[in-house]
Amino acid sequence: MDSTPPSSSSSPFDLVSSALGRYIPRGQAAAPGPAGSPSDPAGAPPEQDVPAAGPQEQILGAVNLDRELRVTHRNLEAPVFAGLDAPTGSPFVDLLPQGDVPTVTRRLRQVLETGEAHVARVQRLRRADGSELVVSMSILPAAAPQEGLTVSLIAMARRLHLYAAETAIGTSLDIGETAQSLAESLLAWGDVAAIDLDFAVWTGEGVTERAQDRIRLRRAALVPDRAWPEGYVTLGDDLPGEASRLLAQAIRRADTPQSIVIPDRAAIERVLGSPRLVRALVPSDRSAGVACVPLVLEGDPPVVLGVAEVWRRADRPFADSELLDLEELVARTSHHVDLARQHQREHTQVLALQRRLLPRSGGGTIQTASVYQPTTPDSAGVGGDWVNSFPLPDGRTALVVGDVVGHGLGAAATMGQLSMEARALLSAGLAPDEVLEHLDETVTLLDDAETGLAAGYSALGSTCCIAVYDPVSHRVALSSAGHLPPILVSPDGRAGPLALRPHPGLGAEFALREPFGVHTFVAPPGSLLALYTDGLVEDPAVPIDEGIGRLSDAVASVHPWDPLQQAARRVVSEVMPARQRDDVTLLLARMIGYRKEDTATWRLPARDDAAVRARELVSALLRQWRTRDGTRDSVLLLVSELVTNAVRHAGGPITVRLIRDGPGLLCEVGDTGNGRPRLGRAGLLDDGGRGLHVVHRLTTRWGVRWTETGKVVWAEVVR
């Protein structure tokens, strides 16, 4: 072959041939030429043995294909291509990993059709023994008058691969993907690569120094993807305890993490000392050597995160320069593994918090269902949105949805604090607008100069919407802080967003401060209320009103008999933008309420005989409900004490309400006073001050909630 540099008019095939001539020493096989050409008069690929190469590393080969993508000629005689089986007439795709066949086939046919070369793409090729070789592959149209293709293959030089691998690893914060990227990069130095991580790294916990007998390794990555012998440790499996301890001891010689090389199978069997361990750790029955490189997190002392193992045939021993390259790559990328570990830990904490905030069963007066879908499939962006529903002690139900600015652990911590504070305040009897006022102050305090903005995170502008459903009056009181309007579907199927007065988000001190409004509306049994966050309806391609309209239509299509959780998932799948940019949250609440025969309400004037009149009305109802005598006596005494207190301390009309709820009775007495009833210490000879002590003794729980006209004291008695 003439190695003279080609002229500018040379064909693509001539360019490859010239390059081969410069890389392959004289006396080795020539590059393939067109069929019947002088360089290959018989038209057959060179099959003869060739002398060993000189000191120059040979990295370039070529394969000719016909229009059916079958091999017509090949030159893969350089030692680096050993094991690539490409006989004449075989499909070229037989050299490819199964998953790459469609993509590479499409590229080959594209060059055939257009005549435009496809240059320098990184590709893996399969050797006959199942191992893989990393190459830079270019696809060139064959030189006229021949038809077909010339595929040039350049084995990736070690240092070039080292640089490419370092830049590729760490692009994901998923610990499994990070380990897989490292294993795929290490495969360039061997036939099989595995990453075994300390179990604490895998779960995101902090890695500390521990006794050798407590070490535990889990296989986090394994390449190539193929069928493995029975008993071999594969992806996701824990290594046997003895194997974990042996590896830990081997790489911590003299208390310093060091790489080790075991050159052949006989030495491996001597080290492992057990056929079971050999089956678990050695990837094939063939003679094999292994290099074990520790993943070390620099520190004082250094912490070992795991072990990288590179296996290859014993007839290809690891050179010192190769081991240095392996150590360099693993050292440069160990911190990516630790970053993924930290992210895993944060992710686990956030998800645990999210799970604790998920709505529980709504009880007999309301049905609820929720869907939470983070921005990314691996939940990497989880943290900002929350949704919750819970029964209040007085028989009502609270529905809360919020969106804290940002993602990650900072947003999740703020979300958890706001959610728990909202629940506590609502359970204490505060109205939705009063709860939002407290949350507004909390966000402002969280974002002061020392604790919030100085930490690089701000929750200012977070939004929240709170709805409280009364199952007796079938009314809902709702307040919003900068949140998108909920959607109400009436029993007759009409649907649309509620007309709320706009209000800035929480902590928006820069805005005109106005009190939070309360929007009250009737939600008859069968009504459906949808609360959501903006990720469900915001799409840059359409106006926000259109997104809310689509959500209204989807919620309106929910049939009264549809299981609510399935309906919620269906609504999200129909409405969610094609390209999700934010967390998606939806809460559906189907109003049921109490039956009319299970409740009774009376309004009485605040006169001295009000307690007597209340006892008469309640006694007649309890006989109708066939309440036990002991329970009836307790309820009558309870009502008498509460009404007497209302007449004495509040004045104005008094409302008495009795609710039959499963195994209990709920008594409520409302008045126009704004004082908070408290248990006090009554003296031995005092005439009064014992009313609330009586209430406390007779009930399982009692409390106060505030209304627009005053307050309601409620108490629960077991029937």
Quick check: helix, strand or coil at residue 656?
A: strand
Q: Tokens 């593994």 correspond to what residue?
A: 337
Domain span at 302:
160-348
The whole-angstrom separation of Cα 296 and Cα 32 is: 47
Q: Where is the domain boundary, 112, 129, 156?
A: 156
Q: Please tell me the predicted confidence (pLDDT) of residue 321.
A: 73
313 domain-assigned: yes
Phi, psi of 711 (to 5 degrees): -145, 165
The whole-angstrom separation of Cα 482 and Cα 433 is: 13
255 contacts: CB under 8 Å, gap ≥ 6: 301
Q: What is the DSSP secondary structure assignment for residue 488, as one 8-state letter? A: E
Residue type, 716: E
Q: Are residues 587 and 603 in the same domain?
A: no
Q: Where is the domain boundary, 591, 621, 656?
A: 591
Q: Please tell me the predicted confidence (pLDDT) of residue 373.
A: 79
537 domain-assigned: yes
Quote the number of domains for the chain.
4
576 contacts: CB under 8 Å, gap ≥ 6: 373, 536, 584
Q: Are residues 307 and 369 in the same domain?
A: no
Q: Residue 381 in contact with residue 343, Cβ under 8 Å?
A: no
Q: Are residues 380 and 503 in the same domain?
A: yes
Q: What is the DSSP secondary structure assignment for residue 231, as one 8-state letter? A: T
Nearest by Cα to 123 from 63, 196, 46: 63
Q: Please tell me the predicted confidence (pLDDT) of residue 201.
A: 73
Which CATH number characterizes residue 57's domain? 3.30.450.20
400 contacts: CB under 8 Å, gap ≥ 6: 386, 387, 388, 389, 419, 422, 423, 426, 464, 465, 466, 467
Q: Residue 710 in contact with residue 673, Cβ under 8 Å?
A: yes
Confidence (pTM): 0.56
Continuous H helices in 47-137: 101-114
Q: Are residues 655 and 531 in the same domain?
A: no
Q: Residue 42 in contact with residue 34, Cβ under 8 Å?
A: no
3 domain-assigned: no
Q: Please tell me the predicted confidence (pLDDT) of residue 291.
A: 85
Q: Where is the domain boundary, 348, 369, 393?
A: 348
Nearest by Cα to 649 from 625, 674, 624, 632: 674
Instruction: Name the packing angle between helices 175-186 and 158-168 (round to 10°).
Output: 170
Burial 167-196 (b: 16+ CB within 10 A, else e): eebbebbbbbbbbbbbbbbbbbbbbbbbbb
Q: Are residues 20 and 152 in the same domain?
A: yes
The shares of helix, strand and coil residues in the chain, as percent rounded to the nearest 5, are 35, 25, 40
Q: Are residues 315 and 364 in the same domain?
A: no
Q: Are residues 321 and 364 in the same domain?
A: no
Which CATH number characterizes residue 285's domain? 3.30.450.40
Q: Residue 640 in contact with residue 619, Cβ under 8 Å?
A: no
pLDDT per residue as tens digits for the range 653-681: 899 999 988 778 889 898 888 777 766 55
Sheet containing strand 495-497, strands side by side: 366-373, 584-591, 528-532, 487-489, 495-497
538 domain-assigned: yes
2 domain-assigned: no
Q: Are residues 540 and 395 in the same domain?
A: yes
Sheet containing strand 149-155, strands side by side: 71-75, 60-65, 149-155, 132-141, 118-126
1 domain-assigned: no
Q: Which residues of the chain have a pLDDT value below 50?
A: 1-13, 15-56, 211-213, 377-381, 449-456, 683-688
Q: Are residues 194 and 100 in the same domain?
A: no
Q: Are residues 418 and 559 in the same domain?
A: yes
Instruction: Name the packing angle between helices 320-357 and 175-186 (round to 10°).
Output: 170
**The pair of three-digit structure tokens given for residue 670, joined into one six-digit string:** 């409302």
Q: Are residues 164 and 229 in the same domain?
A: yes
5 domain-assigned: no
Q: Please tell me the predicted confidence (pLDDT) of residue 42.
A: 33
Q: What is the DSSP secondary structure assignment for residue 238, as one 8-state letter? A: B
Which run of H or of E encompasses 312?
A: strand 303-313
Quick check: helix, strand or coil at residue 597?
A: helix
Which CATH number characterizes residue 630's domain? 3.30.565.10
Q: Please tell me the predicted confidence (pLDDT) of residue 551.
A: 94
Which CATH number characterizes residue 416's domain? 3.60.40.10
Q: Tokens 């006596």 correspond to what residue?
A: 633
33 domain-assigned: yes
Q: Please tell me the predicted confidence (pLDDT) of residue 496.
A: 92
Which run of H or of E encompasses 132?
A: strand 132-141
Q: Are residues 152 and 98 in the same domain?
A: yes
Beta bridge partners of 658: 600, 667
Phi, psi of 363 (to 5 degrees): 85, -165
The full DSSP string for 367-434 is: EEEEEEE-SSTT-TTTTSEEEEEEE-TTS-EEEEEEE-SS-HHHHHHHHHHHHHHHHHHHHTT--HHH
